[in-house]
C-alpha cells in the first residue's frame, strides 16, 4: 500500500535527477495512472450506480467516471425481481419493436438507451469499471497506489524517461509492461478463485 509520497520517493530514487520538480513528478505519476486505466481491469475498479426512474425512463446518462460496462440490471417495480438486460448495438435497439417489457440496452455517447421503458418506481443498476482518482496531495491514495504501487512508479518513470531522454527508459517500459501483465493475470486468477480484490506489489526495488 502506498500514498503519493511513497510513489514519489521510489520514483525519485530510480530517476536520480535534480532537475525534475515535484510538480513535474506528480504530473508524470498522473499520466502514468491514465495509461494504466486504459488497459487494466481489476476488481477494485468496479463500481455500482443505481438510477431510480422518475416517470417512464427510456434512457439515462452513464456515470461520470465510466470506463467500460460490465452489466446493466433493471427492476420494473417494487415487486419485480432485478434482472440483467441484454447488451445490443444502438442500431439494433432502434430496429426492435417498442415493447413494454424491458429487455435490452445500448450505449450511445454518454447515454444508455433501453428497449422498453423503466416505469415509475423501477430502477436501473449499472455495474461498470470506473476511473480512478488523480493524485495531488502527498497523502492521496487510489485503487492503483493501494493495489500495485510498483506499476504506478514505472508508468511514471516511462514518461519521465521520455522527458529527459534517460538511458533507462526502455528498461522502465519493459518493467512496466511485465508488471501490467502480471497484475492483470493475478486479478483474473483471484477473481476465478473468489479471492480478495487487493493485489500485493509484484516488484521490490533493490
pLDDT in tens, 42-97: 998 999 999 999 888 999 999 999 999 999 999 876 556 788 999 999 998 888 77
118 and 150 both lie in a single domain: no
Query: Domain of 56?
Result: 46-129
Q: In 10 A of CB 78, how many CB atoms?
A: 8
Residue 101 grid coordinates: 417489457
Q: State the total domains in the chain.
A: 2
34 and 67 both lie in a single domain: no
- Rounded to two decimals, the pTM is 0.83
125 and 142 both lie in a single domain: no
How far is C-alpha 37 from the geometric centre of its chain's CA atoms?
5
When the pLDDT of each residue in the chain is averaged and rounded to a whole number, the result is 89
36 and 136 both lie in a single domain: yes
Q: Determine, yes or no, domain membership for 146.
A: yes
38 and 138 both lie in a single domain: yes
Where do the DSSP E strands lie in 81-157? 83-84, 86-87, 104-108, 111-118, 123-130
Q: Determine, yes or no, domain membership for 65.
A: yes
147 and 183 both lie in a single domain: yes
Amino acid at each position: 500500500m502506498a500514498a503519493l509520497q511513497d510513489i514519489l520517493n521510489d520514483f525519485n530514487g530510480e530517476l536520480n535527477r535534480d532537475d525534475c520538480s515535484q510538480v513535474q513528478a506528480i504530473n508524470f505519476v498522473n499520466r502514468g495512472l491514465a495509461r494504466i486505466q486504459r488497459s487494466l481491469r481489476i476488481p477494485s475498479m468496479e463500481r455500482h450506480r443505481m438510477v431510480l426512474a422518475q416517470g417512464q425512463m427510456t434512457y439515462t446518462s452513464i456515470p461520470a467516471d465510466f470506463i467500460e460496462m460490465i452489466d446493466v440490471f433493471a427492476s420494473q417495480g417494487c415487486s419485480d425481481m432485478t434482472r440483467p438486460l441484454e447488451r445490443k448495438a444502438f442500431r439494433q435497439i432502434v430496429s426492435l419493436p417498442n415493447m413494454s417489457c424491458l429487455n435490452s440496452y445500448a450505449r450511445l455517447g454518454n447515454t444508455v438507451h433501453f428497449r422498453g421503458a423503466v416505469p415509475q418506481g423501477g430502477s436501473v443498476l449499472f455495474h461498470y469499471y470506473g476511473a480512478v482518482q488523480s493524485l495531488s496531495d502527498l497523502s492521496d491514495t487510489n485503487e492503483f497506489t493501494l493495489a500495485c504501487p510498483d506499476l504506478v512508479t514505472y508508468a511514471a518513470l516511462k514518461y519521465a524517461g521520455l522527458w529527459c531522454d534517460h538511458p533507462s527508459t526502455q528498461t522502465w517500459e519493459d518493467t512496466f509492461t511485465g508488471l501490467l501483465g502480471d497484475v492483470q493475470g493475478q486479478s483474473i486468477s483471484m477473481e476465478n478463485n473468489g479471492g480478495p480484490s487487493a493485489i500485493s506489489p509484484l516488484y521490490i526495488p533493490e
